[in-house]
Amino acid sequence: MASVVDSVEGPVVLAGHSYSGAVISEAAAGQTRVKALVFIAAFIPERGESALELSNTFPGSTLAWALNAVPFPTPKGGTGTDLYTKTDKFHNQFAADVPHTATDLMATTQRPIAAAALEEGANATAWQSIPTSSLVATADYNIPPASQRFMSERANASTVELDASHAVSVSHPLALARLIEDVAESTR
């Protein structure tokens, strides 16, 4: 991801959803052109913390019961695990505020997450030195709202709360666009 930041001319605002919060925080480390970070129903880990650890810090996540674990061979002969949200649980777990017609397609076309991505501790915390904003989805069953609030407060983030599921970018795209525009505008 840092190479993507390097390829963009001018000031950069990075936005990340879910476990991508950890990704943008690491990618922004040492990048002087990154002017702001926006965490959207996302993990904002401290160095060494994992997404799984943060998700389990506060009650409210029902993700573990909605997942299907699928093993896959790794290039070095080991085994990894991909995690999918079970198709029949996807709507309620991931996007209860999105019509079934959309969530049925989302469930069918979802990309897995490697379990290792949720278990790996963060290596960098750019949010400690870069202005940070956060959108807390108060109807999120993947990352409990209490966990999102805790991370946002710890990061001293400018925080907006929205009555939305984890799929806030699908259910409230205009509110999300306004937030990112406001953050980008504040960096100029």
Res. 1: pLDDT tops 90? no
pLDDT at position 4 is: 82
> Which CATH number fits the domain that encloses residue 29?
3.40.50.1820
* Mean pLDDT computed over every residue of the chain: 94
Is a pLDDT exceeding 80 seen at residue 58?
yes
- The pLDDT, as a whole number, for residue 187 is 85
Least confident of 4-8, 31-35, 125-129, 176-180: 4-8
Residue 129 CB partners (closer than 8 Å, separation 6+): none
Question: Which DSSP helix (H) or strand (E) runs through 186?
Answer: helix 173-186
Residues spanned by the domain of 109: 2-186
The single-letter code of the amino acid at 135 is L
What would the mean pLDDT of 96-115 be, rounded to a whole number?
A: 96
Sequential DSSP letters for 47-76: BT--HHHHHTTSTT--HHHHEEEEEEE-TT
Phi-psi region of 69 (alpha: psi -120 to 50; beta: other; left: phi over 0): beta
Mean pLDDT of 78-93: 96
State the pLDDT confidence band at 149, using cuts at 50, 70 and 90: very high
Higher pLDDT, 132 or 5: 132
Neighbouring C-beta atoms of residue 114, cutoff 10 Å: 15
Residue 8: what pLDDT? 86
User: Any bridge partners for residue 167, and if so which?
Assistant: none
Tell me, what's the pLDDT at 3? 81
User: Average pLDDT for residues 80-91, to the nearest whole number?
Assistant: 97
List pLDDT tens digits, range 24-41.
999 999 999 999 999 999
Number of structural domains, the chain?
1
